[in-house]
Structure formats: structure tokens, C-alpha cells
Amino acid sequence: MAYLLNRLLLLCTLSTLVCSVVSKTDSVFVKEENTRLVINTSRIVATVDDHFLCATLDWFQPTQCDYGLCNGSLTGVLNLDLENPLFQKTLAGLAPLLVRIGGTLQDLVVYDVGDQLPSEPCLPFVFNESALFSYSGGCLHMDRWDALNKLFVKLGVSVAFGLNALYGRSKSTAQYEVLTPWNPKNAENFIRYTRDRSYPVIAWELGNELLGATTSIGKTVPPELYAADFKKLRNIIDKLYKGDASKPFAVAPDKVEYVIGETDIPRFLHASRKSADVITRHIYNLGSGRNTTDELISKVLDPSVAEAEVAKYKSLQTLLEEHGTTSAWIGEAGGAFGGGHHEVTDAFISAFWYLDQLGTASRYNNQAFCRQSFVGGFYGLVEADFNPNPDYYGALLWRQLMGRGVFDVDVQSGTSDVRAYAHCQRSNKGGLTLLILNYSNLTSHNLDVSLLGRSADPSPRNFTGKNTFSEASASDERLEYHMSAANGSVTGRIVLLNGKPLLVTPSGEIPTLSPVKVKSTNPISLAPLTYAYVVIPDAYAPACATV
């Protein structure tokens, strides 16, 4: 019955019609439920890199449209206004941020350095509906590359650069499978240019969504040929960065979808023989951006969709362990493919997909999670005018509060409404930060958080009103950041922090994200369809001393 009522209220909330049942049942149907979270603070289950938080700058073109919706505007690598103050402030706010430069059109881009093949001139992108990826040309001039890196250095941004894996190969749309080898000449010249200037590239990636006979976009490269190509990149990196303590990662294959039991990635791993430092995959588990708003929100809130992705994280983690020490990244994730979906991936509701994925990726030891995109399409962390979307603020809180050490959280509840993640508090060795999401629009959850401490003191440490404790190790206060939709509109772009709207100031500054201080004797209460970061500064989590 609760599930049916939940769906009824959700549909009423989303519909353009006025559902009288909502106003009449807020007090009737919305209930309170007690939920217990148990965390063993003596054991870290994963450790993530400082560059875990990542966002993509794509090669979007002003003429680029998806399903008739055109939101590329001036948001691509080649046409971004790098001097825009708000662009710089939003990017800097997430530092140390990893920016992945890549996307569909990366496999057309020629680098204007050294000699080019006669068949691969460095020409501007031109829309051509009959061409591969609907564009011909594609050129990155070194003055633009210099300008980008000047900005990245200034803002403390690191870069993972996606290289053109189709250089020297046919761009004909008549042949889907690629059978000829990659020509690495242009890439090597570009990498050398970048190395000589000490630009902050920490990873070189080969190709975008080219591995997978049935899932690749535009072209497909067989796993064994892909591995042979990748070894060339590995050799270039090893040669050019020989003796360099900060040698960039060699990364592949940015597969469009990982399927449990598939053979593409295992074949690539076997043939590449540990050449890859990082294996990347993409996540668009909400499906097509062409789906309706209601359909997409239903998927965002469906626990089975999230759990299906958890199974993929576990499967790939096991696969990589079998093949050595290769790390996993989520190289691109936008929720809904094809540019996202207005009022979903650029709205408050998106947090229940995005932040949950950040939590899951870190829990299963992925070392980076690259949001598609930082700007561009309907899935940007910021709009085309660089004003933050709701997920930007969720990411900003992640950056400020979530440290490298990851704990397992046991959610002891009779429902699947609550999903929770715990990390060591950023910049505080003894603290702990919780991210908690309430997926129900019917139920408010009162959270009983029990911290299992040192082995000498195995008793639970409880941070709610039920069992306060007087030890000196107990915190008198915790910090809470409750995020909710303005006017209850989950499809809106205004997010409230502790009841106050987050808006760029008239002088163009990102608002300060301030918590409320709550006595540890009070329960943590999470309202329907809201999420919260909760910081326990004096949790004295012993495992955090090592990360």
C-alpha cells in the first residue's frame, strides 16, 4: 500500500494537473519512520584519490543538437569563454578537480602541432549530417591549448585528456568495424608539446566509446586491435615521461556500457597485458534523454535501478582484481544519454542519481567519477551562462566535506527509502561525514547513527537523542547541511540549504554553504525527498588516521 501511495503522490507532484489528493494527504500520508545506520569506524573499505571528483569539458559545437534540442551553445572546449568570471569561480570552487576533456567528437580532433597526415588536415569542425558523428574536420590549435592550461594551472585543475583513436583511419560511415591500426604520430607530437610545458595532464585516454561490437558509437574497434593500439600509447607515455615521478596514467577504453558477463573488457585486458593503469566505463543508466520527465524521475527513484548499477561496480571490481592492480574510473556519467533531459538532469531531483553514484563509485574503489558535463547539454553542473545547477552544490559539499577514506554503512530499515554513505571528514583526521538521501516523498526518517569504535571499545556510539554518551570522545555538536527543492518542486533548479535558497550573489560570488549546528542529543531528521550531509567532527574514527 505504501508503495502505491508513494507512486500516486509522485505522479501528482509531477503532473501539470492539480491533484487535490496531495494537499489533503500531506498530513495523512506523510509519516515518520526510525532508521538505524551502523558504521564501523575502525575499518576503511576503500580509499579514493584526491581527484575523485571529476567533470567533463566536451567538444560541444554551437550547431550540435540531440533529438531536436540544441543546448551546445558556446560550451565546448574550443568555444568556452575562458575569461568569464563565473566560469572560473565555479570551476575553482570544486578544486582540486579533475577535468576530463573528451566526448564523441574527440575521435575527430587533430592537434595542430608537428606534421599531419595529408588525409588528416587540421580544419575547423563543420556540421555534416552524412559524416561520422555528423561533423567533418576538428582541430585543436596550440594557442587554445595554451590558454586552457593557463586557466587550469591558475585554478588548481588537473586534466585527463581523451585522444583521437581514429587518427589515420577511415571516417566512412559505411564501415562500422575498424580493421586498420591507429596512427599515433599526431598524438605523440601533442603529448610531447604538453610534457615540455609541464601542463597539468595526469592521464591520457585513448578513444571514446569505441570498444564493444554492439554498444560503440559510430565506430567499433575489436578488443585485440584496441589493445595493440593502446600499447602504442603506453610506450609513448613511458618514453616521453621516463624518470618523471608524476608520469600520467594510461587510460582506456571509456566503454559506453559495461555489461556483466561481457567479453569486450576481459579480452582487452588479456590482450593489453597490464598496459592500462586505469579502466574506464560510462554510465547512462537512466536511459535516453528522449524519455518523458515522469519516466526518468521514476528511474531516478527506483531502488532496483541503483542496485543494478551496484552489481556492475562489484562485477568490474572483481574482474580487475583478477587481472592485476588496474584501477577503475567512471570516465563519463550524465544519467540520461543524448544531452540529458531538462527538468531532470539539470534539476534538484538529479541529486538522487548523481550523489548516489558518487557514493557508490567511491564505496567500490573507483578513483574518479567524471560528471557529464561541467557545462553543456541538459546535464551540466552549471548552465550555459555558468550559473550553478542544483547538482553543482551537491558536488561542492562533497568536495568540502568528504575525505578519502570510505566506510561501509549498514542501513537497518524495513524500507529501501534511505541510501547512505560515510567518509572520513575532509581536512579533519578524527571526523566523519555522512551523505544520506531520502527517496520517499511519503516518509520522514529519524536517523539513529551508531558508530562502532576502537577494538578496545566495541560498544556502539550513538549520535541521536536515544542514547547520548558522556565520554570525552563524544561530540557535543554535529554539523548538518539539509538540501531540499524550493517550493517542493523537484524538477526546479533552485535548491535550499537548511531552508535558504542558494543563489549566486549580485556581485557574482558562489554562496557560502553554511551548516546548522545541532546537539548530538537531537535526532537527525531527514524530510521526504531531501538529502543531507552530516558532519560529526569528533567521531574519533580510528581508521581515518591512516588516510
Q: Which residues contact 332 (CB under 8 A, 6 or more apart)?
A: 56, 100, 102, 103, 254, 280, 282, 283, 370, 372
pLDDT in tens, the chain (547 residues): 333 334 444 544 443 322 322 323 344 478 999 999 999 999 999 999 999 999 999 999 998 776 556 665 799 999 999 999 999 999 999 999 999 999 999 999 999 999 999 999 999 999 999 999 999 999 999 999 999 999 999 999 999 999 999 999 999 999 999 999 999 999 999 999 999 999 999 999 999 999 987 778 899 999 999 999 999 999 999 999 999 989 999 999 999 999 999 999 999 999 999 999 999 999 999 999 999 999 999 999 999 999 999 999 999 999 999 998 789 999 999 999 999 999 999 999 999 999 999 999 999 999 999 999 999 999 999 999 999 999 999 999 999 999 999 999 999 977 889 999 999 999 998 899 999 999 999 999 999 999 997 333 444 555 553 333 323 334 589 999 999 999 999 999 999 999 999 999 999 999 999 999 999 888 899 999 999 999 999 898 999 988 8
Q: Out of 33, 205, 209, 383, which one is annotated catalytic? A: 209
Cα-based distances in Å from 373 to 22, 61, 95, 279, 391: 35, 14, 16, 20, 11
Q: What are the contacts of 120-125 at 24+ separation with CB within 8 A?
A: 120/167, 120/168, 120/186, 125/59, 125/61, 125/78
Q: Domains of the chain: which residue ranges?
A: 25-45+408-546, 49-404
Q: Look at residues 371, 334, 394, 381 and name the one whose alpha carbon lies nearest to residue 56.
A: 371
Measured in whole angstroms, how far is the alpha carbon of residue 383 from the centre of its chain? 17
Is 360 in contact with 378 (CB distance < 8 Å)? no
User: What's the N-to-C CA distance of the chain in angstroms?
Assistant: 45
Active site residue 332: yes
Identify the CATH assignment for 25-45+408-546 out of 1.10.4000.10, 2.60.40.10, 2.40.110.10, 2.60.40.1180: 2.60.40.1180
> Cell numbers 538505524 label which residue?
36
Tell me which amino acid residue 83 is.
Answer: E
| Fold held by 49-404 | TIM Barrel (3.20.20)
**Active-site hit among 120, 205, 332, 480:** 332
Task: Please give the pLDDT value at position 44.
Answer: 97
Burial class from Cβ neighbours inside 10 Å (0-12, 13-18, 19+) for residue 444 reads middle
209 part of the active site: yes
Residue carrying the nine cell digits 557529464? 372
Per-residue pLDDT at 455: 31
